[in-house]
Amino acid sequence: MKELFGELADGTKVHRWALENGGTRLKVLSYGGIVQSLELPDRHGRYTNISLGFDTIEAYETSSPYFGAIIGRYGNRIAKGRFTLDGEDRQLPVNDGGHHLHGGPEGFDRQVWDVEEFDSASGVGLILRRTSPDGEMGHPGTLTTKVTYTLTGQGDWRVDYEATTDRATVVNLTNHVYWNLAGEGGGSVHDHVLMIAASRYTPVDAGLVPTGELADVAGTPFDFRLPKPVGADLRRADPQLLHAKGIDHNMVLDKGLTERPEHIVNLREPVSGRTLKIATTEPGVQLYTGNFLDGTLVGPGGRAYRQGDALCLETQHFPDSPNRPEFPSTVLRPGETYRSTTVHSFGS
């Protein structure tokens, strides 16, 4: 079902689609491809929205910390907004402490996408398309992008990304849902139990840019190889936690880059019984514990979002890869097709 959601400040209309399949309910905006809500039942069958967001387009346009949006061209940080590709130096706009974050100040999260609804044997869903012109946010090449959201008959939310370019460029697409399995506005996620199949992570400097090291998680707050509460080690006096005011780090997945999605995350909320499993083709996942939510943003339920009220699990290539040849490459060239898939499976 499609309906008008609102208008941007320039008068552009933004529409919303409501989808349901396999017990999962999803609402998506044409602005940023934003997941405005994702509703699941708890163990007693009671539905609740488990993703943070807003109820007006004005709030998304002026105040959103990437709630539920498609992130691109480059998810996460590029140091000082600079990289060199094929001998050519590029300078991107900086929007995060002197660094380029999530595609810059006018990234994919702030664009209106063309949206087509579908109903097929694979499920129901939306195909979102956008052509990013050469030079947009400083990036080389015209990038033609397609993102497919599918709700399967099992209630999984599958995200398939594709992109092609007419000139060598860098690409790292992801989605920025803020999860709280107790429900949007339901308070801290520190009691959620999390497992990530990652034996290493990428430490960061004070600007949250990777140092280049792939560090062992053993004995650190970043060890989620066995399930543990998200907040179990967040108050440890670890320099990495101090940099980020919590966890905002890329986890190096043991499976690496794969052709097909492989299971890498389990998340469980003990009271509701809701669970989230994530499988991906990507080599990394950014774990962000909602460190910069400060109580100034209010969700549809009328509750303020405070530090730790959600977490993000952004499947990705590593931050600052254009400046780190030892990291998996994010370069896309003419004649190639960028492909990435992430599948979210739910239970209660």
Measured CA to CA, the distance from residue 79 to residue 221 in angstroms comes to 25
Sequence ranges of the domains in the chain: 2-347
pLDDT at 77: 98
Measured CA to CA, the distance from residue 73 to residue 86 in angstroms comes to 18
Which string of DSSP letters, residue by residue, matches 148-186? EEEE-TT--EEEEEEEEESS-EE-B-EE---B-TT-TT-
Omega of the bond leading into 268 within 30 degrees of 0 (cis): no
Pick the CATH number of 2-347 from 3.40.50.2300, 2.70.98.10, 3.40.50.720, 3.30.450.40: 2.70.98.10
User: Is 314 annotated in the active site?
Assistant: yes
DSSP single-letter state for residue 327: S
Measured CA to CA, the distance from residue 108 to residue 258 in angstroms comes to 25
**The pTM of the whole model exceeds 0.75:** yes
User: Is 344 annotated in the active site?
Assistant: no
pLDDT at 65: 97
3 Cβ partners below 8 Å, 6+ apart? 15, 16, 18
pLDDT at 150: 98
Catalytic annotation, pick one of 102, 314, 317, 344: 314
pLDDT at 307: 97
Angle formed at CA 101 by CA 144 and CA 257, multiple of 5 degrees? 65
Catalytic annotation, pick one of 139, 176, 192, 249: 176
pLDDT at 158: 98
Query: CB–CB of 188/231 below 8 Å?
Result: yes
Q: pLDDT per residue over 39-59, tens digit each?
A: 999 999 999 999 999 999 999
Output Rg (C-alpha) for the chain, integer angstroms: 19
Three-class DSSP category at 63: helix
Alpha helix (H) ranges present in 99-187?
Answer: none
pLDDT at 53: 98
Residue 282 structure tokens = 């990507």
- Sites in the chain below the pLDDT cut of 50: none
Query: CB–CB of 86/334 below 8 Å?
Result: no
